[in-house]
Amino acid sequence: MKVTAARFLGAAARPGEAPESAAPEVAIAGRSNVGKSSLINTVLGRRGLARTSATPGRTRQLNFFLVNERFGLVDLPGYGFAVGPETERQAWGPLVEGYLLGRSTLRGVLLVVDVRRGLEHEERQLLDFLGHGGQPVAIVATKIDKIGRTAARDAVRALAAEAGVPIVGFSARTGEGREAVWRVFCRWWDRAP
């Protein structure tokens, strides 16, 4: 499938604010500043569609995008960023967990991790949480351009052994892994609810 159209559908800063949509949806989760928004832009080939920033914790709401007027992508707010109003940090759990548990159009969750950090406490917690929800999960190990080829391959293998879900090595800078991520999206979008 070719991306012929991609547009911002709406945002949710509080539970229940998600825009109504019948499109099957894939959510992108991960630590703050890991590269979730960059991944969306790279995979869709739309620079600047999802807002990116060198400042961690920039995306504080769920941002909904519609691809080819038929398929949804959701940029989730990042976790693990210690600065910012306490109320905002406390709001993350109910906002994201409520979405992950309650969105009937959700078909899969892509967890983005920094290839140099792998799975840390928060990632394991999220994987645990998702395992109970019954959604398919895959992991993208991003920023592979920051380490050598062999190191990246070893890290991806180690992650696969540890997590027991599909792993894709990726770089928003070079575009490596773009097709593999796209295949995951298409598989989930086509999945029956």
Q: Distance between CA 36 and CA 142 in Å, rounded?
A: 9
**Site residues, ligand GTP (CB under 6 A):** 30, 32-38, 52-54, 56-59, 78, 142-143, 145-146, 171-173
- To ligand GTP, the closest distance from the beta carbon of 77 in angstroms equals 6
Q: Distance between CA 137 and CA 172 in Å, rounded?
A: 20
DSSP secondary structure, 48-68, as one string: TSS---SSTT---SEEEEEET
Q: Distance between CA 50 and CA 33 in Å, rounded?
A: 13
CB contact at 8 A, 23 and 9 = no
Q: Distance between CA 134 and CA 2 in Å, rounded?
A: 29
Instruction: Note whether 42 binds Mg ion by CB under 5 A.
Output: no
Q: Structure tokens of 178?
A: 């773009």
- To ligand GTP, the closest distance from the beta carbon of 52 in angstroms equals 3
Q: From 18-26, 32-40, 141-149, 173-181, give the range in contact with Mg ion by CB under 5 A.
A: 32-40
Instruction: Note whether 37 binds Mg ion by CB under 5 A.
Output: yes
Instruction: Note whether 63 binds Mg ion by CB under 5 A.
Output: no
- Pick between residue 47 and residue 70 the one whose CB is nearest to ligand GTP: 47
- To Mg ion, the closest distance from the beta carbon of 59 in angstroms equals 3
Which uninterrupted H or E stretch holds 109? strand 106-114
- To ligand GTP, the closest distance from the beta carbon of 134 in angstroms equals 25
Which positions touch Mg ion (CB under 5 A)? 36-37, 59
